[in-house]
Amino acid sequence: MKSLFVALLLATTPALAATPFEPGDLYKLSMVTDPKVAPDGNRVLFNRATFDIDTDTRLGEIWLATISGKTVDKRLLIPAGVKAGAPEWSPDGRRIAYVAPVLGKPQLWVMDVAQGIGKPVTSGKIAPRGFVWSPDGTRIGFVARVEAPPVKIGSMPEKPEGATWAAAPKIIDSFRYRFDGAGYGTAGADQLFVLDFAGGGVTQLTKGDADQIGSGFDWTPDGTAIVYSNRVRPGNERLPVESDLYRIAATGGTPERLSSIDGVEDDPQVSPDGKSIAFTGMLTGTQFYRQSELWVMPAMGGPARMLTTGLDRPIIEAKWAKDGKGVHVFYNDAGLTRVALVPLSGGKPRKVVDAIGGTRLYLPSAGGNWSEGGGTFAYTTVEADRPAALGIQRGGREIAKIDFNSEWRAGKTIGKLERVTWTSSKDALPIEGWVQYPPNFAPEKKYPLALEIHGGPNTDYGPYFSITHQVYAAAGYIVLFSNPRGSIGYGEKFGNAIDKAYPGDDHADLMSGVDELVKRPYVDARNLFIGGGSGGGVLTTYAIAQTDRFRAAAALRPVTDWTVQGLTSDIVAVTLQNWVPGTPWDNHDDYWRRSTLSMVGKVKTPTILIDGEADWRTPIGQSEAYYQALKWRGIDTRMVRLPEAGHGMGRPSQWLQTNLVVVDWYNRYLVK
């Protein structure tokens, strides 16, 4: 296994010859993320993400694109060494604010773009994040955590100066106490602050021992108040989705609750005239999937109305149009993300940006970023043979693209990506998927097929370039990936087709796709493989308990025992209220029936399990239990543990390790 990884990673490219994708190419690629259009529409800030082979980290540079007629120039504005992120234009377009470390702690910086020199504007113990300029540009609101002193153990002697003691214990009182990607929470509360440039002072607006701000906030147009989302209802820790909108004076005071929906009210956006608030939200419920919608309500409180009833797609983000007559929404739609304008008066949404590219890169997940200013839209592009570029659109037409990977792509042979559809054997449900072909594909040959399943389960895949599928394809595998029932972007009913039945009928959707591909003469029916991560790991371990048609399987960060997952993950409330009805102690039979560990006695397929040792979404004990069960039964198995990696699978080299150990595992069981 180790020799394979090293050999593939260090593979070299012959001069002037196009070569297939090589694992080491990850460190040669870059990707555009987070574009921000200036208010005048003539400049775009964006992040260029790269992957450094020496430090094995993802780096970020801030670039500036300037649009002049039909030409676009670009220049590096803030180098990667500054570690800057999340830039935002001031309302007059002269300055930008961003977050970068000062003495190792994140602080707010401001730069006059014409001068190109950034200066920190905050300091001290708090670490600002999630900031928004005031409408007149004289202040910045931001979120920061105010830490509380740790709980002390009574009668514990003081630690002598310079002494070497064991690490302090973690004393936990909160219901949700650790978070995937961040680790164990620190005592304290998230609060809302305002920085005033005139006096240079920072004012803490909200107070309280629990988090006082949740997802997003916005200024009123006159700058006198801030509207924000928060989860402060009694017992909110045990509710998977519940937040409300509040209004507070920009100088501080008592917050006023504005909304009264039982469910989520997030990311408030105040209309240009100050009379309305748009927000994303969903009603509370116990069904598996609840779809986020666009809502609008009076700015001073009152009934909210849903504007996207006829769209039937999950709303990711909403921004007011400049004239206040509509709201731009960013939403998932059949493997893609798009931007549409929703009229405030009602009516059918009008598509504005047809397709936006995902930026996960490790896997072909939908998502990406967009921005609008002065009638110019900037976004991450959809690319099947390279990472996302920057697209710039005016008048409904793309006028420019900035692609940092064109030279790399010219030296590579990348297999084609084909969209496919089929009908599931269960309920005749239409299913969409994609096929990634190997480079230099020859239809007269026979190729092994690797089914790769997305997680979530309420997420989706789309027609995007990904490291995982390129590694598989370069190793000679045809890769099939799809959006079975439960995926988002196909309507709320489709997303809820797994309600109280997961895993279950989605298995039929996947097997029907394999059946369709096997009909093709170039697919070797003797060499079928299955794998997936998170929810894809669930469906992989479920599938190999239902069939032995696959030569080998790869389950990455799976859930195998819902009775344990329901009480140890960082999303306990979601599991207990929405994913499995009841609690493990009151409804143990149903929890165990859904657990693939209960089915492990039927498994015959050689299976590799891959997990991060710091994964708090599906903790590694899920893989450990399944691995030991297979070992006990004498089934060929292997466990790969990634030190310090979370659910997203860690650092760049760990991405490659997860791919290459799977290729190695599949290769072992190929029928020649």
- 500-529 confidence digits (pLDDT tens): 999 999 999 999 999 999 999 999 999 999
- Does residue 10 surpass a pLDDT of 60? no
CB contact at 8 A, 604 and 634: no
In percent, the amount of the chain with pLDDT more than 70 equals 98
pLDDT band at 230 (very low <50, low <70, confident <90, very high): very high
Question: Which SS3 state, helix, strand or coil, does residue 660 take?
Answer: helix
Rounded Cα distance, 63 and 40, in Å: 17
Residue whose C-alpha is closest to residue 507's, from 581, 607, 429: 429
Helices marked H in 348-459 — which ranges? 406-410
Give the per-residue pLDDT at 16. Answer: 58
Rounded Cα distance, 103 and 97, in Å: 18
- Does residue 14 surpass a pLDDT of 70? no
Q: What is the mean pLDDT of residues 332-337?
A: 98
Give the per-residue pLDDT at 70. Answer: 79
Q: What is the mean pLDDT of residues 299-316?
A: 94
**Residue 69 backbone class (left: φ over 0; alpha: ψ -120 to 50; beta: rest):** left
- Does residue 541 surpass a pLDDT of 80? yes
Q: Considering just the CA atoms, what is the radius of gyration of the chain in Å?
A: 26
Q: How many helices (H) and strands (E) does the chain have?
A: 11, 40
Residue whose C-alpha is closest to residue 123's, from 107, 138, 137: 107
pLDDT band at 2 (very low <50, low <70, confident <90, very high): very low
pLDDT digits (tens, 9 = 90+) for 43-102: 999 999 999 999 999 999 999 999 998 789 999 999 999 999 999 999 999 999 999 999
- Lowest average pLDDT, out of 121-125, 234-238, 398-402, goes to 234-238
Give the per-residue pLDDT at 290. Answer: 93
- Does residue 379 surpass a pLDDT of 60? yes
Mean pLDDT of the residues in the chain: 94
Residues 6+ apart with CB under 8 A from 336: 355, 356, 366, 382, 462, 463, 489
Question: What DSSP character marks residue 578?
Answer: I
CA dihedral 184, 186, 187, 191 (to 10 degrees): -130
Q: What is the mean pLDDT of residues 149-169?
A: 92
Question: Which SS3 state, helix, strand or coil, does residue 499 take?
Answer: coil
Give the per-residue pLDDT at 261. Answer: 86
Q: What is the mean pLDDT of residues 204-211?
A: 92
- Does residue 447 surpass a pLDDT of 80? yes
- Lowest average pLDDT, out of 132-146, 165-179, 228-242, 423-437, goes to 228-242
Question: What DSSP character marks residue 148?
Answer: P
Omega before residue 20 within 30° of 0, cis? no
pLDDT band at 138 (very low <50, low <70, confident <90, very high): very high
Give the per-residue pLDDT at 215. Answer: 86
- Does residue 572 surpass a pLDDT of 80? yes
Give the per-residue pLDDT at 612. Answer: 97
User: Exposed/middle/buried for 332, CB within 10 Å: 0-12, 13-18, 19+?
Assistant: buried
Give the per-residue pLDDT at 233. Answer: 78
Q: DSSP labels for 603-618?
A: --S-EEEEEETT--SS
Specify which residues 33 forms β-bridges with: 47
pLDDT band at 3 (very low <50, low <70, confident <90, very high): very low
